[in-house]
A and B are shown apart, each in its own frame.
Chain A
Amino acid sequence: MTQALFYILAGVIVASALLVVTVRNLFHCALALALTMFGVSGVYLYLGWEFLAAVQVLIYVGAVTVLIIFGIMLTRQVMDDKARVMNNQVLLSLLAAGAVALVLYLVIGHSDFQYSNHPALTAAATAPAAEASAYADEVSSLAAGLLKPQNGFAFAFEFVSILLLSALVGAVVVARKDPS
């Protein structure tokens, strides 16, 4: 049952990801992208990472895809589906994609990352009644892992937030009209 669920999710993700790169109507591409991202959050849920799933939807569907749709709507006409699917960099991009996949495969294969937070998948299946409480408190452990000084990620975390802030300010400066 749970296995079948995974294959359905994977099928949806792969199919919609293929749609993103093959459909000629850019708006449909963006909608397919939203579906892909939603499917990925489904995989997170399948593995029991509720927080990651919610953040995935919030950022990739609620923000990134909406931004892309905005871009498309401001630059295209409604029935204009003359977007080119291929360009002359096919070989180069295939190479890049393959390299990324290889690196990801190697990194994930060698890490001791705990894939699943789901009690039914990690330990022997417990009684379904204890379903909700059996989840580890993911948010607290994530916060502790990121922000406790002895884990060594606190500085990087703060640094990333400053980087994001400066990017935000930079965007405002670039977008602002010249007063002259």
Chain B
Amino acid sequence: MISGEKIVQLVSGLLQQVYALLGLSAYAGILDRVVCAVVMFGFVAVFVMFLVWMERKVSAHMQSRIGPNRVGPLGLLQTLADAIKLTTKEDVHPVKRDKIPYFIAPILAFVATFMGMVVVPFDNKMVVADLNIGILYIIAITSFTVIAILSAGWSSNNKYSLLGGFRSAAQIVSYEVPLVLSLVPVIMITGKLNFSGIVQYQQQAGYWFVFPQFVAFVTFIASATAEANRAPFDIPEAESELTGGFHTEYSGVKFAMFFLGEYVAVVVSSAVAATVFLGGWLPPFPFLGFIPGFLWFMLKVLLVIYLIMAFRWTFPRLRVDQLMDFGWKVLIPITVLNILVTGFVVLLAGKGA
């Protein structure tokens, strides 16, 4: 039977032999991490290309259109063509920009979200680094995106960019609160911050957290959509009001980095949702266990991503004040109440850590 653990063992065994062949066995620890990073980058790049295609197909389906269908079978290679076009474009930039932040911002925007992929468990033991504080790590490292967006908005020396940057930062900072708070009940029940540990708890308990914590799941998805600046929460970009938001003045590869970062943010939040609420690599029923865990995991991630995409093409964009009201007056009270109720239940059941 194929499992993530066996694949990891096979690949790492193979890598050891390659290192020995090249006489680099002494640096195996570092080289392993380099290989992990490269593989993860390749995976993310290809997966995001697929997601862009999927997004266009989903939107086309919801609007009774066909969507991309010219390049490759079913239009699958359309995104590849777009990506090549984007990377070979001339890099146009404003003369009066603030050079250093302007250069750093797109890199930071991508790297900050990409770093989150490090702790995502694809299968049992199939994870780059199974940190003890996995959840906290993802929350911490992705907070760099705020700085990236503010830098981009500021350094472009353009009032639309600046406004977009402001709105985006305010939005991310506000929605980070319900995002974190909706994960707290699960942490309270399991007593763990480690992703694999949370999945193992769900395996032993025999249920996924989406059932007892459905409220938390809904608030998590809503705040994750807002965190990723996606419609209906895409005010920072709001094409009709701000031309392009904080990345108005970016083109070519730099624009592609922002674009990639945004999709990676969606992937990371969906992976967190799939792991914490949908049982990660666990099959829905034990008799389906013959299908390898990482396929189940990817299926769940795609399901959550589909949900987020369906949101985008269903709901109209919120106004700035509605957005802030929704975050502070609806989501945060619900999550806090949920934490209180869960705390009582955990106390009564006496299974607190």
Do B133 and A28 touch across chains, with their CB atoms under 8 A apart? no
Decide: A139 and B132 in contact? CB cutoff 8 A: yes
A62→B353 CA distance, assembly (Å): 29
The answer to whether B213 has its CB under 8 Å from any CB of chain A is no
Report B-chain residues with C-beta under 8 Å of the C-beta of A34. Answer: 147
Interface pair B154/A27, CB less than 8 Å apart: yes
Assess whether B98 is in contact with A27, with CB atoms less than 8 Å apart: yes
Among the listed A31, A54, A65, A73, which residue makes an inter-chain contact with B166, where contact means beta carbons less than 8 Å apart?
Answer: A73
- B136, A66: Cβ atoms under 8 Å? no
- Given A62-B146, A78-B155, decide whether A70 and B169 contact each other with a Cβ distance below 8 A: yes
B155 to chain A, nearest CB (A): 7
In the bound complex, do residue A62 and residue B136 qualify as a contact, i.e. CB atoms below 8 Å apart? no
Set of chain B residues within 8 Å of A69, measured between Cβ atoms: 147, 150, 154, 169
Question: In the complex where A31-B101, A31-B151 touch, is A61 in contact with B143 (Cβ < 8 A)?
Answer: yes
Residues of B within 8 Å of A, CB-based: how many? 33
Does residue B18 face the partner (Cβ distance < 8 Å to A)?
no
Residues of B within 8 A of A138 (CB): 132
Chain B residue with minimal CB distance to A41?
B140
Given known pairs A54-B137, A66-B169, A70-B169, the reply for A132 and B143 (CB within 8 Å) is: no
B274 interface hit (Cβ, 8 Å):
no
A128 at the interface (CB under 8 A from B): yes
Residues of B within 8 Å of A140, CB to CB, are: 353
The answer on a CB contact under 8 Å between B143 and A57 is yes
A34 to B144 Cα, complex, angstroms: 9
Bound state CA distance, A157 and B326, in angstroms? 31
Contact with B along A35-58 (1 / 0, CB 8 A): 000000000000000110011011
- Work out how many contacts link A and B, with CB atoms closer than 8 A: 86
Taking the closest CB of chain A, its distance from the CB of B169, in whole angstroms, is: 7
B153 neighbours in A (Cβ, 8 Å): 73
* A79: Cβ under 8 A from any B Cβ: yes
From B139, B146, B157, A79 is in contact (CB under 8 Å) with: B157
Task: Decide if B23 is an interface residue (CB 8 Å cutoff).
Answer: no
Task: List residues 112-148 of chain A with CB under 8 A from any CB of chain B.
Answer: 128, 132, 135, 137-140
A139 touches B133 (CB 8 A): yes
Which residues of B in the span 1-41 have a Cβ within 8 Å of any Cβ on A?
A: 29
User: How many angstroms between the C-alpha atoms of A62 and B176 in the bound complex?
Assistant: 10
Determine which of A58, A65, A135 lies in contact with B132 in the assembled complex, contact meaning CB atoms within 8 Å: A135
Interface string of B71-96 (1 = CB under 8 A from A): 00000000000000000000000001
Residue of B nearest to A77 (CB): B157
Chain A residue at minimal CB-CB distance from B141 = A57
Contact assessment for B147 and A65 in the assembled complex, using a CB-CB cutoff below 8 Å: yes
Which residues of chain A come closer than 8 Å to B173, judged between CB atoms?
63, 66
Q: Does any Cβ of A come within 8 Å of B193's Cβ? A: yes
- Name 9 interchain pairs, CB-CB below 8 A, sorted by A: A50-B133, A51-B133, A57-B140, A58-B139, A69-B147, A73-B150, A73-B153, A139-B132, A139-B133
B interface residue numbers (CB < 8 A to A)? 29, 96, 98, 100-101, 104, 130-133, 136-137, 139-141, 143-144, 146-147, 150-151, 153-155, 157, 162, 165-166, 169, 173, 176, 193, 353
- Give the 9 A-B residue pairs with the shortest CB-CB distance, closest first: A62-B143, A57-B140, A58-B140, A54-B136, A54-B140, A78-B157, A50-B133, A69-B150, A66-B146
- Show the binding face of A for B, using Cβ within 8 Å: 25, 27-28, 31, 34, 50-51, 54-55, 57-58, 61-63, 65-66, 69-70, 73, 78-79, 128, 132, 135, 137-140
